[in-house]
Chains A and B, each alone.
Chain A
Amino acid sequence: MTMLKEGRPTAPVPVKDAHMAPATVTGNRALMLEEALIFEIGSTDTTGVDFAPAPKVASRLGGLERRAIGLPGLSEQETVRHYTRLSRQNYAIDLGLFPLGSCTMKHNPRLNEKVARMPGFADLHPLSPQSTVQGALAVIHELAEWLVTLTGMHSVAMSPKAGAHGELCGLLAIRAALEARGDARSVVLVPESAHGTNPATAAFCGYKVEDIPATPEGRVDLAALTARLGPDVAAVMITNPNTCGLFERDLKTISDAVHAAGAFVYCDGANFNAIVGRVRPGDLGVDAMHINLHKTFSTPHGGGGPGSGPVVLSEALAPYAPLPFVEKQGDTFVLIEEESAQDHHAGTFGRMVAFHGQMGMFTRALAYIMSHGADGLRQVAEDAVLNANYILRSLDDVLDAPFGGSGPCMHEALFSDKGLAEGFTTLDIAKGLIDEGFHPMTMYFPLVVHGAMLVEPTETESKAALDQFIMALRSLAQRAKAGDEALKGAPYHAPRRRLDETLAARKPVLTWEAPALAQAAE
């Protein structure tokens, strides 16, 4: 037998037409793997777990034993592979810049994940006797102290589960305070540029919502607002910095006028990241403000939650804060619940959630806050604002910046679709960014700007990352202005091309059905 000497080829054949890749029979493209649904690959008699055999007992289920459920299982290996493959169809902060305006997609430190998983926090029942959870109550108390001090407010309600839930908490406290003084009021004023949650929350609390117009320079119209104040106005909801990325210069004046009219100021704190350590909302006359721990304080967004929305309150609203809350009595932390509230917190508007709020987010946020400290948090705001202004001024020659003339922006840069070629839209630029390897900015919000593009880089991006993003957005702006038709087909390189949202809404398919069943239903 002779040994073959050629071996395998070690130099590639020169490529003539790289984009003409042949289709694959699997539909996979190397590392981009298509993945079917668990209902298509699993079966009801496959499982990835094993248990000790159940004791043999006579059932006490009241004669209500269940028949078929229809839940497929996968082995552990198949499960790991299914979700690993799916994960690779997601964009994430861990992959690159994620400049969604108003969402504050900053780096999520892994120390936070580690501390949240300490058994002393993660494996703790919410109704455990208080003597056995002193460390957990200490975490809530410590975080509360930080939030109160950073905002210059009187106290904080920790239990709201997310930003919108925090808004609800703030408005319920305002309504309770008004009712306590026998003052029924019916209207909440909300700027046109507000997040959609603001009017939805006010309506949910039974208030009539009225818009406040914006000035041409993108701020609340002070004259219009003060003119509208009166005995029927319960509160004004203001976002500061606002959704145009600007600081509301007149907020203190507004607060004074609102208070003089017997109403309260709710501040949407979604954008607190821009001012943490540099401005205390308490100094501006704010009565209630939610803090999205999943924005400013880096707890992970997790593909859409869980969030956490503690609400800082002024002295006037503090007596109406929800149950439960943690109080320090001597060296002991006490959880004030319905049982103990009657003595010294009788004004509470009640309970908002079953337990004490998002403990798993409190541990993460506290780790983040301690990591930064008072000095680091101030630097956070400074770098967040610096990064946004750098983007604004690096692109305002190719993209219209509607409020660019009003001075510096805060933590987010706002552009519009003005000047793009006929037929080209903000959506085309956003989808083009996907092909360039970035998550798009917030599109078509705020509603006061046509074709809005709201870019929030956050402080955790390096200058190199910003420069690459600026280069990509500049190129896309130029293509959209030049009418490059190819842009309308973007994205070309994502796991999916543009998806048909109209079809999804017209004929909703919200659960999987076996193909035969699905056909029979049609």
Chain B
Amino acid sequence: MGRGGSIDMRYLPLTDTDRQQMLSVIGAASIDDLFVDVPAEARLSAKIAGLPDHASELAVERHMGKLARQNLSAGEAPFFLGAGAYRHHVPASVDHLIQRGEFLTAYTPYQPEIAQGTLQVLFEFQTQVARLLGCDVANASMYDGSTACWEAIGMARRITKRSKAILSSGLHPHYVSVANTMAKFTGDQLLHDAPTLSAATDIEALIAGIDKDTSCVVVQYPDILGRIADLTPLAEAAHAAGALLVAVVTEPVALGALVPPGEMGADIVVGEGQSIGVGLQFGGPYLGLFACKQKYVRQMPGRLCGETVDAAGKRGFVLTLSTREQHIRREKATSNICTNSGLCALAFSIHMTLLGEKGLRELAALNHGLAVQAADRLAQVPGVTLLNDSFFNEFTLVLTKDAREVVRSLADKGVLAGVSLGRLFPQHMSVGNGLVVAVTETVIAEDIETLAKALEEELA
């Protein structure tokens, strides 16, 4: 061998005897002979210095466990964070099923005869997502809600051949940031204002801003402050000007109670699917949802699964319309996306199957009921005003001081109070006293009381 003896490593099955036999079949004297094409000056003659050697399973688990314990997880504290990522109970069977090796360790289903499991799941997922969002068709998933949102803006440009998009002030600011980053390079013009602390959304201003150069209006539903508005007038105004309506849903559980954007005329509906099946995971991997009207399907980014038959006439599923995709179209593709979020789509689909319409409605009603109770209780705290007239499971409180300080101070007391608007909109001090509070089925009455008392102390 290139080095004296090989290490004993649990994931590497070759023995030194195997290696010697294989080298002789190849006709090489040593492993170094197989690296002859590496220029001498770039060849490392020994392992890289300054890094530890291999570690046992127990040692790695111990190290990772130590780091995990340095975090205050959502389950350990009264927890009210949302703003694009929501904590929901995920049934035990979801995580069990996604860990079946046939799902977990499979690849993109490029050989459909031996990937019908993944493909049927994707077909079911697409149907579930389309129905949930109120659209005709959905794709097999994107990276996350923010990237799906940007892809929707790009798709609207391709369809309308216009490049001015109007972004609602109620759109998640990180989604706006992602779109701004991309637009700098694609030449899209994005119009966006920061939100104001008012109960009314900016629908009227959006309608007023639409003109003949507008490719699309992008609106979040419910929005970043938790407010809900009927999107129908906005869709009508957009269509009248030849523009599209793109709706963004960051909390899909809301659509167990609310009319979906697709039914209000949205042309493209994207979302973050993390709420259902995926979990918080400190921000990723998440699940980009992407749905649209049937007539736009050939402009859609990402993978699509379709029904077909096999040579014996049996129903089966394949990846389809791949002439939109990078591996066929190369520089003319609708997107450069390749890997999507398959395993998260599986988790979403399993959780949605467990819920069904009945369970989803119950879950949504429970979220809304608890949120109403929490909002009313917290509004009684001196120094706290409830901003929203309407909301699902998330609302904004206006405090008498900068909410960033309040959040930090309450965290020190073991209460995870919500997301401050100061963190979300650091350049807009005018919203700094806003605190976005999410209440899901994981919150209990005692948590609400703890938060109310802590806020009262903090604002006294």
Whether chain B is bound by chain A comes out as yes
Q: Flag if A358 contacts B68 (CB, 8 Å).
A: no
A83 to B117, CA, bound (A): 8
Query: B169 at interface (Cβ–Cβ under 8 A)?
Result: no
Does B61 touch A at the CB level, under 8 Å? yes
Give Cα A111 to B57, complex, Å. Answer: 7
Tell me, in angstroms, the Cα distance from A440 to B73 when the chains sit together: 43
B307 adjacent to chain A (CB < 8 Å): yes
Count of chain B residues with a beta carbon within 8 Å of a chain A beta carbon = 212
> Which residues of chain A have C-beta atoms less than 8 A from B91's C-beta?
48-49, 76
Say yes or no: B331 contacts A199, CB within 8 Å.
yes
Contact with B along A288-300 (1 / 0, CB 8 A): 0000001000101
Q: Which of A121, A385, A511 contacts B282 (CB 8 A)?
A: A121
A503 to B83: give the CA distance in the assembly, Å: 43
> How many chain-A residues does the 8 Å CB contact rule pick out?
206
Contact between A71 and B107 (Cβ–Cβ < 8 Å)? no
B430 proximity list for chain A (CB < 8 A): none
B11 contacts A372, C-beta separation under 8 Å: yes
Q: Which chain A residues border B147 with CB–CB below 8 Å?
A: 161, 165, 352-353
A190-204 interface (Cβ within 8 A of B): 195-197, 199-204
A511→B118 contact, CB < 8 A: no
Chain B contacts for A356, CB-based, 8 A: 282-284
Bound complex: CA A463 to CA B34 (Å)? 18
Interface flag for A47 (CB, 8 Å): yes
Question: Does A383 touch B at the CB level, under 8 Å?
Answer: yes
| A residues less than 8 Å from B362 (CB atoms) | 47, 49, 51, 54
Alpha-carbon gap, A301 to B110, bound state (A): 13
Complex Cα spacing A108 to B342, Å? 16
Kindly provide the distance from the CB of B266 to the nearest chain A CB, expressed in whole angstroms.
13
Which residues of chain A are within 8 angstroms of B336 by Cβ–Cβ distance? 164, 167-168, 197, 200-201, 203-204
Compute how far the CA of A355 lies from the CA of B287 in the bound complex, rounded to whole angstroms.
13
Given A124-B74, A128-B416, are A196 and B25 also a contact pair (CB < 8 Å)? Answer: no
Nearest A residue to B1 via CB reads: A382
The reply to whether B284 and A407 form a contact with Cβ atoms under 8 Å apart is no
A70 to chain B, nearest CB (A): 5
> Is A262 in contact with chain B by the CB < 8 A criterion?
no
Question: B93–A355 contact, CB under 8 A?
Answer: no
Q: List the B side residues contacting A302 at CB < 8 Å.
A: 98, 103-104, 106, 342-344, 346
A94 adjacent to B102 (CB under 8 Å): yes
Selected contact of B73 from candidates A52, A124, A199, CB within 8 Å: A124
Given contacts A246-B37, A279-B44, A498-B113, A138 and B22 within 8 Å (CB-CB): no
* A66, A308, A339, A385: residue with the most chain B Cβ atoms closer than 10 Å: A66
- Among the listed B59, B178, B339, B356, which residue makes an inter-chain contact with A353, where contact means beta carbons less than 8 Å apart? B178
In the assembled complex, the Cα of A238 lies from the Cα of B195 at a distance in Å of: 44
User: Is A135 positioned at the interface, with any CB of B under 8 Å from its CB?
Assistant: yes
Q: Tell me, yes or no, whether A252 is within 8 Å of chain B by CB.
A: yes
When the two chains form the complex, which single residue of A45, A386, A496 contacts B310, counting CB atoms closer than 8 Å?
A496
Across the interface, do B338 and A163 meet the contact criterion of CB distance under 8 Å?
yes
- A–B complex contacts, Cβ < 8 Å, 30 sampled: A39-B127, A51-B363, A55-B369, A56-B369, A62-B229, A69-B360, A74-B354, A90-B117, A121-B281, A129-B411, A135-B66, A196-B327, A247-B38, A283-B41, A294-B339, A303-B109, A305-B143, A305-B340, A355-B283, A355-B286, A360-B281, A374-B51, A379-B6, A383-B12, A387-B22, A439-B114, A463-B21, A496-B113, A497-B314, A501-B112
